[in-house]
Amino acid sequence: MKVKNLNKSKLPIVRIDNSLEKYKGKVLFKDKLDKANDMLKTVGLPKSRKQS
């Protein structure tokens, strides 16, 4: 498959960039995460087709 077509496939080509490792383990969007956790505390999850 040509690279051009690969780029259009649903699964993208992802280049690993070690400079992004500095963000690992950090919460970059704290307000959003806090809001999500608050919401999920009461709402939980819908029933899934898959069990993890």
- Provide the binding-site residues for another protein, judged by CB under 8 A: 7-8, 10-18, 20-21, 23-24, 27-29, 31-33, 35-37, 39-46, 48-50, 52
Helix, strand or coil, per DSSP, at residue 29: coil
CB of 1 to another protein, least distance (A): 15
Separation in Å, CA 19 to CA 5, 10, 14, 44, 50: 28, 25, 14, 35, 35
Residues 9/2, Cβ–Cβ less than 8 Å: no
Closest separation in Å from C-beta 36 to another protein: 4
Taking the complex as a whole, the smallest distance from the CB of residue 9 to another protein amounts, in Å, to 9
